[in-house]
Amino acid sequence: MLTTRLARGVLPALTIGLALLAVAPWLEAPFSTPKRLVLTGAAALAALLLPMSRRRLAWPFLLPLLSTGLSAWRGDFAATEVVWAQLAFGVLVFAWASSGVEARWVTPAAAGCGAVVGLVAVLQAAGVDPFAAFGPEVSGRLRVYSTLGNPDFVASALTVALCLAAGEWSTARSLGGAPGKSVWWLAAMGLMLAALAVTRSFATLAAISAAAAAAGLHGLRRRAALPATVPSNLRRRHVGVTVAVVLGALGLLTALLAGRSPSEAMLGRLYLARVVVSAGLEAPVLGHGPGAVEALWPEWELSWWKARCGADASCVAADAWSRFAGLQDHVHNDWLELLVERGLAGLIASLLVLALALQRAWKSSAPRAPALFATVVAVAVRATVDFPLARPADLCLLAAVVGLVVSLEDE
């Protein structure tokens, strides 16, 4: 049926493609604004198509939308732009969790567009920037921003796209697909692998390592669950292990090429967490409002330093933590940021969505299940040291992954 194909295939695939590639040079924020518009537009279309999906509505996946609305209503520091983006994500994840998403549309879109993002990143790392005319004037690792505006944003989106591509490659092998198709998946994965290496993101190393372990664990579970009377297909039994090997190789390569100080990065994250925990948990149920961190950070940081040094400026200057002081719009920990901005209600709602997706993927014996399980794990781990749940492209990808997990029951 045409409407079903639109709801489950065309719209999710188009959303992923635009979320990864949309760039508008004429705008003040040429990388982020188009993706925010994609997220909002996709949510509106998904909501319109939802009544035609002919599936039972997945009510638990409505909780992030409700918690965002309540927090925006009760919070004193909700940022309009952030509220609309999070409401759009809530609509999108509920719609695609209810209708399901077709992998034959979405995973090629994610892999193909991810390969394009990877190619641009590699070119930028080599000193050839297609966006030099309007892109940011940056140096070092920041010059690798591709179509997403920042190397960490690139790494975050490509981690998800790579996991999906690895799952399709291993699925094609397990089901005896055409060799040419496997080569296509490998080529896309190679470009994304190279791009992830040049972004030199520690969050990627953590996410990929966790994804590799999750895929391998899922593969072992599937193998152990096979009845003794069922003939086993050797290739299919090792789908999870194959995915784990691919992702593990990426983790090793990222570690070898990182060239950065992991201790400094972790200390910076710790500083942000200490400031927020000491001053930001004053609205524990519904939070201060989506986007409140940017508005309240100066006050929180000043309170933290006053408690530490009083009015002694020399104390601040001599303190080792002072090198991390400065304005922040995110705390580089989505779970802590959710607690601050949307309270326990928002944190529990978001964790529940991921938990339900993990549970469905874990229980499934479908060929794609190990890769999808690994993808959700990767997002959850990255969210502990980064803020993928605050970026439009990542939110579009996550909503599609949730829809893919729901669709495992159709395979």
**By the 8 A CB rule, do 402 and 353 touch?**
yes
Q: Which residue has the higher pLDDT, 172 or 88?
A: 88
Beta strands in 106-156, from DSSP E residues, in sequence order? none
Q: Is residue 311 assigned to a domain? A: no
Rounded-to-10 torsion of CA 247, 250, 254, 257: 170
Q: Is residue 306 assigned to a domain? A: no
Q: Is residue 120 assigned to a domain? A: yes
What's the domain range around 9?
Answer: 2-225+232-264+329-410
**0.85 exceeded by the pTM?**
yes
C-alpha span between 374 and 255 (Å, rounded): 19
Per-residue confidence (pLDDT) for residue 224, from 0 to 100: 61
Q: Is residue 376 assigned to a domain? A: yes
Burial pattern 350-372, b for ≥16 Cβ within 10 A else e, equals beebbebbbebbbebebbbbbbb
User: Does the pLDDT value for residue 242 go beyond 80?
Assistant: no
Q: Is residue 349 assigned to a domain? A: yes
CB neighbours of 252 closer than 8 A, spacing ≥ 6?
none
Q: In this predicted model, what pLDDT tens digit does every residue of 292-351 receive, in sequence order?
A: 999 999 999 999 999 999 989 899 999 999 999 999 999 999 999 999 999 999 999 999
Q: Is residue 292 assigned to a domain? A: no
Q: Is residue 276 assigned to a domain? A: no
Q: Is residue 302 assigned to a domain? A: no
How many domains are there within the chain?
1
Q: In this predicted model, what pLDDT tens digit does every residue of 346-388 receive, in sequence order?
A: 999 999 999 999 999 999 988 899 999 999 999 999 999 999 9
